[in-house]
Amino acid sequence: MDLPRHHVIREGDLRILNPFSPAKLATLGQAIKLRAGDRLVDLCCGKGELLRSWHLAHGIRGIGVDISTAFITEAREHAAGLPVEFVHGDAAGFVAPEPADVVACIGATWIGDGVAGTIEILERSLRPGGMLLIGEPYWRLDPPDQQTVEGCHAQTRDDFRSLPELVAHFGDDLGWDLVEMVLASQDSWDRYAAAHWLNIRTWLDANPDDELAPQLRAELDTDPVRHVRYQREYLGWGVFALRKRG
């Protein structure tokens, strides 16, 4: 069980594996009013930067789970000596040994086939009255055609919601109050997307004969134009803090 190698190459030396800057990750930790000793569970934790940085800033402790052996290895190295644990495994089946104050899935709602199913997974590890964090794309602008939809890595317009539709979905459909949110900017989208291009080019220069080289060369040929034409204009991304309605 592992993540395909091209994902690891693309992320390279990035510590945050989504369109959030370190400043926005710090803002989120402040906004949800973390307290020393709070227990966090981060499903699909990537390289563990949320847990590491929030322990240093707020004194939290917790567990991160990810399917990538490379990411988990890096997470353990960067958080060595801290009261955070990293587990290699399938986040969709994970239940924390102790209910947590905050349970997160930042940008990987595919583990539950969407927002609703992912919330069900997260709630298994949440204490009563605790908080969920969901990272999810949304349409900044309504896509005018199928080409735009596919340029944003979607199959249909319904793969994502507009921001009002997403907020209404949390409350009206699923019964959770939205209590905080921090949204990516076009600049933070650029920083994340463009970092991939440099990582890919650096890898290609060092590995021209690798079996993945043609695939990643094709990605570098097309992804910059796709990003500036479609993704940065039409697709937003944010982290949403939820508490269950009584």
| Mean pLDDT across 130-141 | 98
Output the pTM of the full model. 0.96
CATH number of the domain residue 31 falls in: 3.40.50.150
211 occurs within a structural domain: no
What angle is formed at CA 99 by the lines to CA 93 and CA 100, rounded to 5 degrees? 95
232 occurs within a structural domain: no
Q: Specify the pairing of strand 126-139 against strand 235-244.
A: antiparallel
Q: Compute the mean pLDDT over every residue in the chain, rounded to the nearest whole number.
A: 97
30 occurs within a structural domain: yes
Summarize pLDDT for 36-51 with one digit per residue, the tens: 999 999 999 999 999 9
213 occurs within a structural domain: no
| Mean pLDDT across 195-211 | 98
Query: In total, how many domains does the chain have?
Result: 1
166 occurs within a structural domain: yes
**Rounded distance between C-alpha atoms, residue 187 and residue 130, angstroms:** 32
